[in-house]
């Protein structure tokens, strides 16, 4: 009886020992699996592309709307009283100084000439000539009309008086733009250089803007009343530090800006910055301690926490060696 009891206790001991050994094996396997998984997760860092800041000079422009306008229309007047018997011009004609425009005969000479033909009577006429070169933009009389001395017969314009009237908001100080170079952008894409002149003494009543005159370098073939854009240089930036817009991150309110500076080739440090001038592709960094040798994340930084580990897979073409 004692022998049977001993055998049962021995069997129970062996079973318990086997279960303990099995549990230890499972535990070791689980720990090993968990360790491998953690190691795999920690080595799977987000992939990023990086860039170095670039240094360059930059000009800041303000852009305004403008309209082409001839500031002076030259009047062609009758020098005597009589009837227009000949007209040599049409609207759009280019005329030169001394070119005949109209022939005027007095009523008496016209009446006598219809009765008695003679060379002297035919010479009793006044020829109106152009006193300057230009383009005829308006003709107010036609052949057969009676005019008096001093009447305006036509008007002409000259490219020398072509100006761009630019509308500038009232809050802008127009004095700071005077004598500055500018760029005139025509609707067809043509660009003309110009220079800012004086401001007009009367504001535009419709849109409440100041009016300034811009002198184009050439007024050739520029018609009147064409809407153009004028870019006026405001100031120059020397040796500015710029990075692509994609490299700058912000909060939802756009009140805080930062970049990710990569150190030790794998750690992304969140670095606050302030933005200066912005273009379509670049933004200037101001009041920052960054320099041209720093490595910044260009793509892949969205949502990264501070001091996150990253994996650099590409260096941008903006990078300066």
Ordered per-residue pLDDT tens for the chain, 321 residues: 545 444 555 555 555 655 555 555 555 555 554 444 444 444 589 999 999 999 999 888 889 999 999 988 899 999 989 999 999 999 989 999 999 999 998 876 656 555 445 544 455 678 999 988 999 999 999 999 999 999 999 999 988 889 999 999 988 888 888 999 999 999 988 999 999 998 888 888 788 899 999 999 886 678 889 999 999 988 888 999 999 999 999 998 888 999 999 999 899 999 999 999 888 889 999 988 899 999 999 999 998 999 999 999 988 765 443
Cα distances (angstroms) measured from residue 205 to each of 167, 173, 211, 215, 242: 11, 18, 11, 23, 41
Q: What burial letters (b/e) apply to 292-312, b meaning 16+ CB within 10 Å?
A: eebbbbbbbbeebeeebebeb
Q: Which of 301, 299, 300, 241 is nearest to 275 (CA)?
A: 241
Do the two domains 47-58+238-315 and 74-157 of this chain adopt the same fold?
no
Rounded to whole angstroms, how far apart are CA atoms 73 and 140? 14
Largest CA distance in the chain: 174
Query: Does the predicted model carry a pTM greater than 0.85?
Result: no
Fold of 47-58+238-315: 2.40.420
Residue ranges of domains in the chain: 47-58+238-315, 61-70+160-236, 74-157
Region 74-157: CATH code: 2.40.50.100
Which tokens belong to 78? 């009758």
For 175, phi then psi, to 5°, come to -65, -35
Q: Domain 61-70+160-236 carries which CATH code?
A: 2.40.30.170
């Amino acid at each position: 009886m004692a022998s049977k009891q001993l055998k049962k206790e021995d069997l129970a001991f062996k079973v318990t020992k086997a279960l303990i050994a099995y549990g230890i094996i499972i535990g070791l396997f689980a720990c090993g699996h968990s360790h491998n998984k953690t190691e795999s997760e920690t080595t799977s860092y987000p992939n990023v592309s990086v860039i170095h800041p670039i240094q360059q000079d930059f000009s800041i422009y303000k852009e305004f709307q403008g309209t082409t306008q001839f500031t002076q229309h030259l009047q062609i007047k009758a020098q005597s009283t009589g009837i227009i018997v000949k007209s040599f011009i049409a609207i759009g004609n280019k005329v030169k100084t001394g070119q005949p425009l109209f022939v005027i005969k007095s009523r008496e000479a016209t009446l006598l000439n219809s009765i008695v033909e003679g060379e002297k009577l035919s010479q009793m006429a006044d020829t109106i000539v152009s006193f300057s070169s230009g383009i005829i933009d308006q003709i107010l009389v036609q052949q057969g009309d009676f005019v008096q001395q001093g009447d305006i017969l036509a008007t002409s314009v000259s490219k020398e008086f072509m100006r761009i009237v630019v509308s500038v908001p009232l809050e802008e100080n127009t004095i700071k733009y005077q004598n500055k170079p500018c760029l005139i952008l025509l609707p067809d894409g043509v660009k003309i250089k110009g220079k800012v002149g004086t401001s007009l003494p009367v504001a535009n009543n419709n849109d409440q803007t100041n009016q300034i005159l811009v002198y184009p370098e050439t007024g050739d073939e520029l018609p009147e009343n064409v809407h153009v854009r004028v870019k006026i240089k405001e100031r120059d930036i020397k040796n500015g530090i710029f990075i692509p817009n994609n490299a700058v991150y912000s909060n939802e309110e756009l009140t805080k800006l930062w970049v990710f500076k990569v150190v030790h080739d794998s750690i992304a440090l969140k670095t606050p910055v302030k933005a200066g001038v912005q273009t379509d592709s670049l933004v200037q960094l101001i009041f920052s301690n960054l320099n041209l040798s720093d490595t910044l994340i260009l793509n892949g930084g969205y949502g990264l926490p501070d001091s996150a580990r990253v994996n650099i897979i590409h260096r941008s073409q903006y990078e300066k060696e």
